[in-house]
């Protein structure tokens, strides 16, 4: 079986190479293997999700043609890849986009069946969850720890927590969808029979419109009432659509009164939603409303490292620093930069350098020119933040607040001015070893002690 699989795949690769040339073949297919087959499908192991996306965008017809030539019949494609490179426990299997395994799984009830009136409660519900959006792939830092902790609490105890409904809001592209799907995935892992449903407000609106046209609104509402957990994404999409919000109202009431979990995401808090009835907005406030902030620099760096590892990349420190400093708007922005660098590096067969990263980012991200920072500027900004007289930073006083401010100054001077620890010590009337200790102390406390993180970030923001 294995020999036949390898033989067939070699035939496919020869066909692909003849059609796209050696250079593109080496870049996109040399690391892909066929690892399983049956009568109607072949499973391909690819280096990362990015390769699957490139195949679907540019090479899908060619791969199908190669498979048909080798097998003598059309074959469906499944992809296997590790979400985190080198971590076998992060391995996932996905089919082609038009054959979603979840949507076509035997015995599940797709959400589209709502408007057809197929609402038999005995049939499992297709949760509409993306397996990649789990907690293991969600980076946690100081800026988002509260939202993640709440989400995990809900996932562990969906019928016994104080966060119902959970209303999560924040800017576009910062991880709200990932986080609420992670709740659903964890619940399904713990209880596969739990009727979990993820849907967007836009899809909810579309299904409601179909139900109106087919005169099946009661069936539509009753079907959603079968959920144990309802995850409704991008709630702002139903603003100004009174019929849709009126349909959501009895669904909310029934699920909440039955002890079923409700989770909503939105781009704004409930009190800022216009075009939704007051009675529904009032219900959104029954549980917990939490803002998911934009990731701070530390979390951006963590996300960037994770996304790079996931795609088998090794970013130099200076590249990590450059991207984390400039890609500040969203996680999607960071993902786009990583994909752009990966694509450029593979296409050009070039190493990942600061110049390559800068070239990728120049057309997508506004890169602000940094103002030159000198030691005197840092002294003034540090003293201002800690509400101290700048002269006290140079004194022999060792009170706790002065010592903390002095260590922050040492760290910032080392990071931003290029001065050696010896020169920094000389300026502060301190020994070289004292400066090294101060820098190390701040590094160790930076992502652990909120007060230190806040001080460093605020001072840096005031100067950059």
- 464 residues of the chain, pLDDT tens digit each: 567 899 999 999 999 999 888 888 888 898 899 998 988 889 998 887 677 778 887 889 999 999 999 999 999 998 886 644 444 444 455 555 444 333 334 445 555 555 555 544 445 678 888 888 889 889 888 888 899 999 999 999 888 878 999 999 998 888 899 999 999 999 999 998 899 999 999 999 989 998 898 888 888 888 899 899 999 999 999 988 889 999 999 999 999 988 999 999 999 999 888 888 889 999 998 999 999 988 887 888 888 888 777 777 778 888 888 887 777 767 777 878 888 888 887 777 778 888 888 888 877 665 555 567 888 999 999 999 999 898 888 888 778 888 899 999 999 998 888 788 888 988 988 888 899 999 998 988 886 788 888 888 888 877 76
The answer to whether 238 touches 204, Cβ cutoff 8 Å, is: yes
> Helices (DSSP H) in 121-160: which residue ranges?
145-156
Q: According to the model, what pLDDT value does residue 280 have?
A: 92
Q: According to the model, what pLDDT value does residue 93 have?
A: 55
Count Cβ atoms within 10 A of the Cβ of residue 362 and give its class: 0-12 exposed, 13-18 middle, 19 or more buried. exposed
Residue 1: other Cβ atoms inside 10 A = 7
Residue 164: other Cβ atoms inside 10 A = 19
Q: Residue 165, preceding bond cis, omega within 30 degrees?
A: yes
- pLDDT tens by residue, 77-134: 988 866 444 444 444 555 554 443 333 344 455 555 555 555 444 456 788 888 888 8
Query: What is the Cα–Cα distance from 334 to 336, expressed in whole angstroms?
Result: 5
Burial track 137-147 (b if 16+ CB lie within 10 A, e otherwise): bbbebbbbeeb
The answer to whether 101 touches 110, Cβ cutoff 8 Å, is: no
* Maximum alpha-carbon separation in the chain: 84
Query: What is the Cα–Cα distance from 354 to 397, expressed in whole angstroms?
Result: 42
Strands of 261-266's sheet in order across: 196-200, 229-233, 261-266, 166-169, 288-291
Cα distances (Å, whole numbers) of residue 93 to 1, 52, 78, 130, 131: 21, 11, 7, 11, 9
The answer to whether 66 touches 16, Cβ cutoff 8 Å, is: yes
Joined together, the tokens standing for residue 458 give 């605020």
What φ, ψ does residue 126 adopt, rounded to 5°? -65, 115
Q: According to the model, what pLDDT value does residue 109 have?
A: 53
DSSP 333-344: HHHHHHHHHHHH
The answer to whether 139 touches 305, Cβ cutoff 8 Å, is: no
- Where is 37: in which H helix or E strand? strand 33-37
Which residue in 144, 140, 48, 139 sits closest to 94, CA to CA? 48
Joined together, the tokens standing for residue 307 give 């996304």
Sequence-distant (6+) residues with CB within 8 A of 110 are 103, 126
- pLDDT tens by residue, 15-28: 999 988 888 888 88
Joined together, the tokens standing for residue 243 give 């019929």
The sign one gets for the Cα dihedral 115, 116, 121, 123 is negative
Q: According to the model, what pLDDT value does residue 232 have?
A: 95
Query: What is the Cα–Cα distance from 91 to 35, expressed in whole angstroms?
Result: 13
Which residue in 305, 443, 460 sits closest to 368, CA to CA? 460
Joined together, the tokens standing for residue 336 give 């786009």
- Where is 82: in which H helix or E strand? strand 76-82
Query: What is the Cα–Cα distance from 313 to 50, expressed in whole angstroms?
Result: 12
Cα distances (Å, whole numbers) of residue 86 to 287, 310, 313: 40, 9, 11
What φ, ψ does residue 424 adopt, rounded to 5°? -60, -40
């Amino acid at each position: 079986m294995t020999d036949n699989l390898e033989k067939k795949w070699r035939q496919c690769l020869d066909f692909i190479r003849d059609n796209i040339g050696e250079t593109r073949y080496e870049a996109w297919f040399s690391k892909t293997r066929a690892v399983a087959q049956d009568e109607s499908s072949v499973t391909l192991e690819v280096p990362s999700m990015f390769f699957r996306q490139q195949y679907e965008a540019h090479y899908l017809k060619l791969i199908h043609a190669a498979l048909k030539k080798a097998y003598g019949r059309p074959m469906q494609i499944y992809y296997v890849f590790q979400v985190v490179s080198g971590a076998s426990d992060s391995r996932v299997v996905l089919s082609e986009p038009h054959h979603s395994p979840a949507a076509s799984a035997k015995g599940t009830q797709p959400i589209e069946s709502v408007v057809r009136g197929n609402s038999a409660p005995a049939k499992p519900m297709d949760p509409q969850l993306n397996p990649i959006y789990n907690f293991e792939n969600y980076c946690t830092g100081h800026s988002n720890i509260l939202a993640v902790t709440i989400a995990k609490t809900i996932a562990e105890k969906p019928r016994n927590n104080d966060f119902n409904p959970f209303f999560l809001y924040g800017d576009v592209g910062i991880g709200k969808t990932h986080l609420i799907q992670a709740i659903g995935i964890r619940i399904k892992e713990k209880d596969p029979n739990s009727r979990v449903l993820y849907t967007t407000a836009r899809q909810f609106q579309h299904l409601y419109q179909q139900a109106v046209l087919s005169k099946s609104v009661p069936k539509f509402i009753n079907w959603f009432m079968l959920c144990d957990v309802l995850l409704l994404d991008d709630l702002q999409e139903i603003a100004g659509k009174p019929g849709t919000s009126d349909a959501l109202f009895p669904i909310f009431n029934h699920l909440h009164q039955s002890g079923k979990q409700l989770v909503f995401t939105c781009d704004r808090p409930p009190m800022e939603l216009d075009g939704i009835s007051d009675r529904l907005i009032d219900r959104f406030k029954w549980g917990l409303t939490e803002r998911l902030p934009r990731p701070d620099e530390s979390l951006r760096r963590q996300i960037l490292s994770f996304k790079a590892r996931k795609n088998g990349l090794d970013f130099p420190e200076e590249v990590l620093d450059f991207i984390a400093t400039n890609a500040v708007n969203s996680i999607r922005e960071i993902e786009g930069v990583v994909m752009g660098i990966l694509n450029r590096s593979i296409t050009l067969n070039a190493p990942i350098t600061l110049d390559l990263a800068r070239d990728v980012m120049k057309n997508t991200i506004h890169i602000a020119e940094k103002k030159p920072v000198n030691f005197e500027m840092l002294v003034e900004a540090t003293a201002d933040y800690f509400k101290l007289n700048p002269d006290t930073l140079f004194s022999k006083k060792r009170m706790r607040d002065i010592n903390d401010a002095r260590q922050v100054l040492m760290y910032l001077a080392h990071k931003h001015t290029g001065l050696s620890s010896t020169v920094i010590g000389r300026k502060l009337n301190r020994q070289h070893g004292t400066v090294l200790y101060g820098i190390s102390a701040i590094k160790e406390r930076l992502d652990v002690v909120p007060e230190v993180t806040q001080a460093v970030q605020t001072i840096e923001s005031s100067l950059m």
